[in-house]
Amino acid sequence: MPKMDYIDAIRLAMKEEMELDENVFVLGEDVGYKGGVFTTTKGLLTQFGEERVLDTPLAESAIVGVAIGAAMYGMKPIAEMQYSDFMFPATNQIISEAAKIRYRSNNDWDCPLVIRAPIGGGIFGGLYHSQCPESVFFGTPGLKIVAPYTAYDAKGLLKAAVRDPDPVIFFENKKCYKLVSGDVPEDDYIVPIGEANVLREGDDITVISYSLPLHFIMEAAEELESEGITAHVLDLRSLQPLDKDGILAAARRTGKVLIIHEDNKFGGIGAEVSAIIAEEMLYELDAPIMRLCGPDVPAMPINPPGEKFFMLNKDKVKEAMKKLALY
Amino acid sequence: MTQSESAVTQSRHAALGLTDEQAIEMYKLMNTARKYDERCLILQRAGKIKFHVSGIGQEAAQVGAAFALDRDQDYYLPYYRDYAFVLSVGMTLRELMLCLFSKIDDPNSGGRQMPGHFGSKRLRIVTGSSPVTTQVPHAVGFALAAKMKKKNFVSFVTFGDGSSNQGDFHEGANFAGVHKLPVIFMCENNQYAISVPLHKQVSGKIADRALGYGFPGVAVDGNDPLEVYRVMKEARQRAANGEGPTLVEAVMYRLSPHSTSDEDLAYRTKEEVDAHRDKDGIPKYKQYLIDCGIWDEEREAVMQHEIKAALDDATSFGDKAPFPAPEDILKHVYADDAAQGEGGR
């Protein structure tokens, strides 16, 4: 099985789906001849032509809005937002339109759209090339949201998103593009949307997370094991719908839960995960639910000390895991 | 009469390629929409329905536009005043009444959306919403699909003068211009965005905005259905020829308040409204048909009687139809509603 970078797995998913279904096409800024500012769509134009790998005017609401129209006709567009920081002009199209098309038409129309958007910091991108906007879209019924961490999931979830009959936001982590690699089958497979995945089994604490922070969590878990603490690590993979059964099973495994994400703490995904656990199994817990998240500031600064302070890392994660283990 | 004399005296509609029957059908549709609209206002005042947003004064342009389209294949993205338009492309009075009364068999939304939020896949009317102008990029997306799939259909989208200020208008028009897509943008310039008059919205001309996007923009008398038909027919031909989009600005006047929740005399005078009532397209078009010798008061009386009977039937049908079951609100969030989770249940 070939080992592949996260970004190459994303590209492969698009290539395979475009080969399988001529209605699948990619549109966005710089996706064509340049192959994307991160090279995510590199080579696709050569293979599929400029009509199916469409360089658009710089206007995010149109990129999503036009994709919605094409999707309602029966196409399967993959709309790229260059950075998730720049997707807010398209928010009305995503929340008022894509998310509600099936519902408001009483199932007469549908919107099989994928919106890919790179999230996350740690690249000296400053306030507007580093954000994690999951919480803005989270809690919008009608949308599905996925955020893969492994290269395997990046390919499988993107293929599932393309085939999904409803709009899916695919939050890919730009720091993971080259940092994360792993075994990715070259055959056709999908990772079902809505299923969390246990990355590591353990008995002392449960850590629930998604996207880049899992990289730090897995490193920390490795170190903690040599210190006699074993961590059970759950990768949510899908943020909407959340895998409620998977979350509860993981929490029950140890009775001690730490939720970690880079998006800021207040009103984040962790709040909902925490509430699910509290509603269903409060008296089975051996410690208060803990959260380790980005600080509640508007976004991370570009100066290195400031960015480092905002970002999670192995040491911060390890400290929080240890604190919970010792509770 | 010699042949050359016949050409000189040929009626306007015949010169445009419309038969007498079509010219009369247009008139009937304009009247049907007007009477439907007036019935809605009465039903709202009587407390039978919650809300109505009116299209009175805009029927002529809507019907003229519809007749210029290919009603066997084009896709339509109408806005919330387009009753005459949707009637012209196949929606029935019964269906409009089911929508007005928010009943389960409403084809537009199954009683979910406010009246005037049209949608019917069967009729190729694309579902719309309330945040204005979001439908413009959607129309461009349909046109993009037509180009990619090498289909002959054209997409047609309408919106108000207020909407011509929204980013989605400009982003959609620019996108369509760059890719030369088969879409027709029709602004129904009724002079008001709720209470704010045109001169506080737009300092230039709406039609001129097309210039910046590299395609023609045409202002047309929206009270003249034949003139709108002519301009729209050209626009559709351009789209079908691969020459790209056209912006049509149909200039008209909103004779009714914005909606049943609006008191329009707070921002305009009765004199102003009355002056525009004299320019109403419906009586003018009636006179045109009479002058052509294809209409008279006798036929008018028969038509009005038929419209009233159809409206009475549709009103009763809509009123008596069942509401959706309360728990139906949980349906159709996703294709597979199991994905929905259990929040709030």
Residue B41 within a domain:
yes
Domain shared by A37 and A121, yes or no: yes
CA-based nearest residue to B138, from A113, A84, A170: A113
pLDDT band at B1 (very low <50, low <70, confident <90, very high): very low
Final residue belonging to a domain, choices A183, A214, A240: A183
B340 near A CB under 8 A? yes
Nearest residue on chain B to A166, judged by CA atoms?
B334
Identify the domain boundary among A149, A183, A217: A183
Tens of pLDDT, residues B303-317: 999 999 999 999 999
Q: Tell me which H or E stretch contains A68.
A: helix A60-73
Are A127 and A210 contained in the same domain?
A: no
Q: What is the mean pLDDT of chain A?
A: 98
Going by C-alpha positions, the residue among A42, A78, A166 that lies closest to residue B332 is A166
pLDDT for residue B345 is more than 50: no
Q: What is the pLDDT of residues B15-44, one digit of tens each?
A: 999 999 999 999 999 999 999 999 999 999
In a domain, B339, yes or no: no
Provide DSSP, B225-273. HHHHHHHHHHHHHHHHTT---EEEEEE----S-SBTT--GGGTS-HHHH
Contact of A111 with chain B, judged by CB distance below 8 Å, is answered with no
Split into its structural domains, chain A has a count of: 2
Within its chain, how far is the Cα of B168 from the centroid? 19
- Domain containing B22 equals 16-327
* pLDDT-based confidence at residue A305 (cuts at 50, 70, 90): very high
Q: Cα(B12)–Cα(B7) distance, rounded to whole angstroms?
A: 11
Q: Which residue of A has its CA nearest to B138?
A: A69
Please check whether residue A107 touches B, CB under 8 A.
yes
**Mean pLDDT over residues B193-220, rounded?**
97
CA-based nearest distance A196→chain B, Å: 14
What CATH number should be reported for the domain holding residue A204?
3.40.50.920
Q: Does A110 touch chain B (CB under 8 A)?
A: yes
Pick among B332, B336, B340, B342 to test the A interface (most A CBs inside 10 A): B332
Contacts of A166 in chain B (CB under 8 A): 334-335, 339
Q: Is residue B322 part of a domain?
A: yes
Question: Residue A1: which pLDDT band, with cuts at 50, 70 and 90?
Answer: confident
**DSSP sequence for A139-152:** T-TT-EEE---SHH
Which segment of A192-206, B6-20, B76-90, B147-161 scores lowest on mean pLDDT? B6-20
- The half-sphere exposure of A197 on its side-chain side, counting CA atoms within 13 A, is 19
Residue of B nearest to A243 (CA): B341
Check B138 against A107: CB less than 8 A apart.
no
> Same domain for A127 and A260?
no
Specify whether the backbone of B239 is left (phi greater than 0), alpha (psi in -120 to 50) or beta: alpha
Domain membership of residue A191 (yes or no) is no
pLDDT at B340: 58
The pLDDT tens digits of the residues spanning A5-44 come to 999 999 999 999 999 999 999 999 999 999 999 999 999 9
- Residue B345 maps to a domain: no
**Does residue B9 sit within a domain?**
no
For residue range A214-238, what is the model confidence (pLDDT) as tens digits? 999 999 999 999 999 999 999 999 9
* Cross-strand bridge partners of residue B53: B259
Same domain, A231 and A137: no
Residue A171 lies in a domain: yes
Q: What is the ipTM of this complex?
A: 0.96
Q: Looking at the structure, do residues A147 and A204 belong to the same domain, yes or no?
A: no
Sheet holding A238-240, edge to edge: A53-55, A24-28, A76-80, A114-119, A168-173, A144-146, A238-240
Q: Looking at beta carbons, which residues of chain B come within 8 Å of A24?
A: none
- Verify whether residue B254 is a known catalytic residue: yes
Residue A264 lies in a domain: yes
Residue A296: pLDDT band (50, 70, 90) is: very high
Mutate to test the interface with A, among B91, B127, B165, B213 (most CBs of A within 10 A): B127
The answer on pLDDT for B344 being more than 60 is: no
Q: Are residues A209 and A276 in the same domain?
A: yes
B333 assigned to some structural domain? no
Based on the domain organization, do A160 and A50 belong to the same domain?
Answer: yes
Q: What is the pLDDT of residues B255-281, one digit of tens each?
A: 999 999 999 999 999 999 999 999 999
- Evaluate whether residue A189 is within a structural domain: no
Burial class (CB in 10 A: 0-12, 13-18, 19+), A55: middle
CA distance B209 to chain A (A): 17
Helix (H) or strand (E) holding A27: strand A24-28
Per-residue pLDDT at B338: 65
CA separation for the pair A89, A117 (Å, rounded): 13
B27 lies in some domain: yes
**Does A266 lie at the interface with B, CB-CB under 8 angstroms?**
no
| A149: in domain | yes
> pLDDT digits over A129-169, tens only?
999 999 999 999 999 999 999 999 999 999 999 999 999 99
Asked whether the beta carbons of residue B140 and residue A66 sit closer than 8 angstroms, the reply is: yes
pLDDT at position B337 is 79
Question: Shortest Cα distance from A167 to chain B (angstroms)?
Answer: 9
Contacts of A105 in chain B (CB under 8 A): 108-109, 119, 121, 127
Catalytic residue among B254, B276, B285, B288: B254
Residue A26 lies in a domain: yes
- Whether residues A70 and B145 touch (CB distance < 8 A) is answered with yes
Catalytic residue among B258, B276, B285, B288: B258
Interchain CB distance below 8 Å, A57 and B107: no
Residues A89 and A20 in one domain: yes
A73 → closest Cβ in B137, B145, B334: B145
Confidence of residue B9 (pLDDT cuts 50, 70, 90): confident
Q: Return the residue of B nearest to A54 by Cα.
A: B179
Q: Where is the domain boundary, A183, A206, A225?
A: A183
Is residue A32 in some structural domain? yes
B121 and chain A in contact, CB less than 8 A:
yes
**CATH code at position B46:** 3.40.50.970
| List of chain B residues whose C-beta atoms are within 8 Å of the C-beta of residue A76 | none
Confidence of residue B189 (pLDDT cuts 50, 70, 90): very high
State whether A57 and B139 contact (CB < 8 Å): no
Q: For this structure, is A261 an active site residue?
A: no
Partner residue facing B134 (CB), from A52, A59, A93:
A93
- Asked if B341 and A244 come within 8 Å (Cβ–Cβ), the reply is yes
Whether residue A188 is contained in a domain is answered as: no
- Residue B344 located in a structural domain: no
Q: Nearest CA to A253 among A282, A267, A233, A275?
A: A233
Please tell me if residue A28 touches chain B, with a CB cutoff of 8 Å: no
Distance from CA of A274 to the nearest CA of B (A): 14
Claim to verify: residue A236 and residue A115 sit in the same structural domain: no
Residues A13 and A110 placed together within one structural domain of the fold: yes
Same domain, yes or no: A169 and A201: no
Contact A66 B138 (CB under 8 A): yes
Residue B342 has a pLDDT of 52
Residue A208: band (very low, low, confident or very high) from pLDDT cuts 50, 70, 90: very high
Contact call for residues B166 and B187 (beta carbons, < 8 A): no
Number of domains in chain B: 1
- Which range of residues forms the domain containing residue A44? 3-183
Look at A96 and B332 and tell me if their CB atoms are within 8 Å. no
Domain CATH number, residue A17: 3.40.50.970
* pLDDT at B191 > cutoff 60: yes
Do residue A109 and residue A248 come from a single domain? no
Question: E strands of chain B, at which residues?
Answer: 75-77, 155-160, 183-189, 192-193, 196-197, 217-221, 246-251
CB pairs under 8 A between A and B: 150
pLDDT at B8: 54
